[in-house]
Amino acid sequence: MATTMSRSKPVTEQYTAQDIQVLSGLEPVRVRPAMYIGGVDKAGLHHLVWEIVDNCIDEVMNGHADRIEVELEPDLQGIKITDNGRGIPIDLHEQFNKPALELILTTLHAGGKFSQGNYQYSGGLHGVGASVVNALSERLEARVKRGGKLYRQSYCRGEAMTPLEILGDAHGSGTTIAFRPDTEIFATTTFDPKVIEERLEAKSYLHRVKITFKGPGGIQRFDHGQGIDGYLQRLVDHEQRNPAYEQTFYLQRENEPRMEAALSWVEDGDERVWSYVNGIPTAQGGTHDLGLRAGVVRALRNYMETHNLTPKNLKLSAEDLRDGLRCVLSVYVKEPQFKGQTKERLNNPEVQSLVSNGVAPVLEQFLNANPKHAEAVIERILQAARSRVAQREAIDMVTRKTATTRLNLPGKLADCSSNRPSECELFVVEGDSAGGSAKQARDRKNQAILPLRGKVLNTEQANLSKIQQNKEILNLISALGCGVGNKIDLSKLRYHKVVILTDADSDGHHIAGLLITFFYRYLPELIRGGHVYLGRPPLYRLRTSKQTLWAWDDKEKERMLRTQRAKPEITRFKGLGEMSPQQLKETTLDPASRTLYRVALRDEEAADLAVRDCFGKDPAPRFQLVMEHAREVEAQDT
């Protein structure tokens, strides 16, 4: 029998010039919005607001405006932002035969910030921000007051819908941009008033500008003339940290780069720096941030050496010298080089030494002029160094006790057969009963099960000596194989997915919280690397003769009941151990049907505060949390 084979074209012939697309105008923004705003999630949605607000701040920084107004529409899906600056130019651009306003809002890399003639300092240098907002809005209206007239032009998804028109006479000057984000682009288009409020308040401190915010809570006015000195005090108060000394060190430098810095030390906690460049928050730091940290270390070392305060039997690291540091740093750079359009990191190499050389001598002079404050800071540093040495010794002891070879893995660990960490998953479950069901339900090739007994140790309150003696924590460290504390080596992590799998009731949530606390405090690199997940087992099963449904909470159960014609049989699972292996596999373990939540660190300041409030030694924040939300609880597990 003869067989015939169809021959396909070679790959090179399949890929031709006809496959090349050229995107024009604002099409690239709508096709790849994440390139311009970081994503289409909540952060990306609010980035649209920051782009327009930062344009207003550019007018403020260069002395052309002193007021900004922001107003949310009642449905929270539209926003209007106004400044009293010069107003975007409206005259005709000769080369493109369009009003400058339309050119700026409909063309990438069109703006007045490419040279320093119009703006000495600017947060937006690429001529992209306003046009990106326009491209990603289903409606945008621009109003400009210039030369005694009020002008208006409307847009839809980046295209001008009306010509520029004169509405009438007007006093003063300024620009108003009102827009509604495009529902075709964003998963949600509802703005968070609290997020906007916090950003606007920070801008008021940084630039000493008057800002009015109108939201669902009414009208709020921010007028913080005390600047970043007051901002640092507010941030420390919000953290609920006790200052190591009362007076804040404040530095102001007028020569290039212009710089302001406010520094303090708190009694407990790692270092924390809130840094800004031309008013833009740089969440990932950068060269200005590195320069500040280097300058602080140099000033403290010089002061201690001058006054013979350096301990002979205790080696001080840079981290020790900065432990407890709280700082707001604001620099103004004429030609900033940011990492990406979202501007989260400054890359100018020359700024590092300039900031370091600006901070070090002035801070050292402050310490010499304020010996009582200097004494408090030095004592704080020595305390941090001694604590760090004790912590290292305890971690070393824990690491020695938890060998990472397979021969010394925990006895209760049901390991998987694969030796490839990238495909291996570790499910951390509560109790032997749940562990038994999970072991039968798992895929033995790439899913490992580690049962933990009872409530996990609260590592937020326990010292390392107590952690070292806790068998459950040691078993977990041993199973992971990557070390702990400053000994973490992610290349040795044996499972690239670590899934916390607890019961769907309040006890299960508590255990999950305790485990997340442990990971956050002692294995934070696992969270930052995207390796920690929460499993989502169902709380109810609703079964009729025709189908079986799973409900993950009471509200979902009630919703399902309203859609059923026949009354279903309802089973409430008191724990994972009550589920059959097949049920557990179908709902929680099988990648094809399960739901996992990745634990992420979007705001480390908020995460640190939440962990301390929920699991720290002080019960007052927990009591306050319970009292604030008690009425929201419909039922309580007993």
Phi/psi for 146 (5° steps) reads -150, 140
Cβ atoms within 10 Å of 524's Cβ, excluding its own: 16
Which position has the token pair 């405006």? 65
Count of C-beta atoms within a 10 Å radius of residue 133: 27
Of 229, 271, 460, 503, the catalytic one is 503
Close Cβ partners of 84 (under 8 Å, ≥ 6 residues apart) = 65, 66, 67, 172, 173, 174
Annotated active-site residue 430? The verdict is yes
**507 flagged as catalytic:** yes
Catalytic residue among 58, 425, 430, 460: 430
CB-based burial label for 180 (10 Å; 0-12, 13-18, 19+): middle
CA distance 366 to 232: 18
- Can you point out the beta strands (E) in 382-529? 425-430, 447-452, 497-501
CA neighbor of 436 nearest in space, from 233, 248, 612, 575: 575
Alpha carbon separation from 448 to 188, 427, 474, 575, 594 (Å, rounded): 37, 6, 17, 20, 16
Give Cβ neighbours of residue 615 (< 8 Å, ≥ 6 apart): 458, 460, 461, 513, 514, 517
- Whole-number Cα distances in Å, 101 to 12, 89, 104, 135, 153: 45, 6, 5, 15, 9
What is the spatial distance between Cα 90 and Cα 140, in angstroms, rounded to a whole number?
16
112 three-state secondary structure: coil
Which DSSP letter does residue 409 get? S
- For residue 494, the 8-state DSSP code is S
Q: Is 83 noted as a catalytic residue in this protein?
A: no
**Catalytically annotated residue among 201, 505, 578, 590:** 505
Please state, in angstroms and as integers, the Cα–Cα distance from residue 30 to each residue in 36, 185, 190, 273, 373, following that order. Answer: 10, 8, 19, 35, 54
Task: Give the number of other Cβ atoms within 10 Å of residue 552's Cβ.
Answer: 15
Cα–Cα distance for residue pair 451/453, rounded to 1 Å? 7
Going by C-beta distance under 8 Å and a sequence separation of 6 or more, which residues neighbour residue 375?
Answer: none
The secondary structure of residue 243, as a DSSP letter, is B
For 554, residues 6+ apart whose C-beta sits below 8 A from its C-beta are: 539, 634, 635
Beta bridge partners of 533: 499, 598
- Of the listed 375, 507, 590, 608, which one is catalytic? 507
Helix axes 471-480, 371-401, angle to 10 degrees: 80
CA angle 607, 291, 609 (to 5 degrees): 10
CB distance 498 to 426 below 8 Å = yes
Write out the catalytic residue numbers: 430, 503, 505, 507
